[in-house]
Amino acid sequence: MQIEKNKSLKEFNTFGIDCAAKYFISISSQDELLDALRSEIHSKLFILGGGSNMLLTKDIDALVLHINLKGIEVVNETNHHVFLKVNAGENWHEFVQYCINNDFGGIENLSLIPGNVGTAPIQNIGAYGVELKDVFESCSALHLETLKNKEFSNSDCKFGYRNSIFKNEVKGKYIITDVTFKLTKNEHAKRISYGAIKNELAAHNIEDPNISDISKAVIAIRESKLPDPKKLGNSGSFFKNPIISLSEFNSFTEQFPEAPFYKISETSYKIPAGWLIEQSGFKGTQFGDAGVHKNQALVLVNYGNATGEEIWNLALKIQSKVKKDFNITIEPEVNVI
Ligand code: EPU
């Protein structure tokens, strides 16, 4: 177990923010994890996965555990399904590609989402009509104080839109060490009703796509709109799409009849935050090295040396202008540290 001091986290967060960890350990086995948790290097712990859903605004005065547990294992099979247990430190997109190569269906729509497998359940990652919860069987997690393992089933996780028990009741109490997925081996349920996917497949004259075609379509759509964190620091959607009540929705659409929306239930509607931010005039704007992406207003970017504080100040500025213009509060999707 190697302990590093005052370690820069620039390479460990997709925003590319240069904050430091007081102590840092890269964890590549369960034993190392237990050793690190039993050590008394620092009274505070900070668990770091792929660093794709956080904005660092200050140095971390804690022991940072970088979860680097690797490995994919088939744990069960039926005629129709395969159950894969995947360790938390596997890169999400590489895992998606592994599934496509083995013709395991279910997560092709989630291609190219940054981050690691172990952090995917925390915010129930989702894109193009699919959410992690649709393929999630269970996960194992280690309790930070008792050091006991607990198995969380799909219903235990209380998944919601970019939400789960790990952001609420048990926030900060567990480290997810592996996730088991239930995927299809044949007769894949292909989800291609999302407009952008349909258009992308049609543009290539693909009428009956296989999961690889769907993955390629999703990759093409994402690459056209979303910046590659390796080239331009970002954390995907910075804000969640706000959900408003029917009465709020009625007065909103009366004023802005052209606004896009998704009906969630008889009494709630989701409004694309990207549209609100674009209408508020922020799309493509830049303040120092902090900016709003030119192709997708929901994505804040670091043009090089922005500090987390600069990006956070921009986020606050956007939040208050959107509130003023539309009387709707947009909340960050990323964890602001
Ligand atoms: N829009 C604009 N201007 C913009 C961006 C979007 O007007 O700059 C409007 C458009 O009308 C568009 C609508 O917003 O039709 C929706 O945009 P899009 O389909 O790109 O999806 P989104 O709501 O912006 C969500 C997720 C993405 C996910 C896509 C596709 C959230 C917060 N974001 O974005 O997730 O990839 O749907 O399913 O729910 C992420 O979480 O990091 C992420 C990228």
CATH number at residue 49: 3.30.43.10
Residue 318: what pLDDT? 98
Both 99 and 10 in a single domain? no
Residue stretches of the chain with pLDDT short of 70: none
Number of domains into which the chain is organized: 3
Residue 267: what pLDDT? 94
Instruction: Give ∠ CA 198-203-205 in degrees, rounded to 5.
Output: 90
Residue 1: what pLDDT? 79
CB 85 within 8 A of CB 93: no
- The rounded distance, in Å, linking the Cα atoms of 260 and 245 is 15
Both 52 and 89 in a single domain? no
- Structure token pair of residue 103: 């013709």
Q: Reply yes or no on whether 222 is catalytic.
A: no
Residue 85: what pLDDT? 98
Total-model pTM? 0.92
Ligand 1 centroid to Cα of residue 185, in Å, is 30
Residue 141: what pLDDT? 97
- The atom of ligand 1 lying closest to the CA of 235 is 42
Both 243 and 268 in a single domain? yes
Residue with CA at minimum distance from ligand 1 atom 4: 274
Secondary element (H or E) of residue 219: helix 211-225
Among residues 262, 333, 251, 256, which one has the least CA distance to residue 299?
A: 333
Within 6 A (CB) of ligand 1 lie 127-128, 225-226, 236-237, 240-241, 260, 272, 274-275, 278, 283, 296-298, 333
- The rounded distance, in Å, linking the Cα atoms of 74 and 171 is 29
Residue 305: what pLDDT? 94
Secondary element (H or E) of residue 312: helix 308-326
Q: Which CATH number fits the domain that encloses residue 155?
A: 3.30.465.10
Residue 307: what pLDDT? 96
- Domain annotation covers residue 191: no
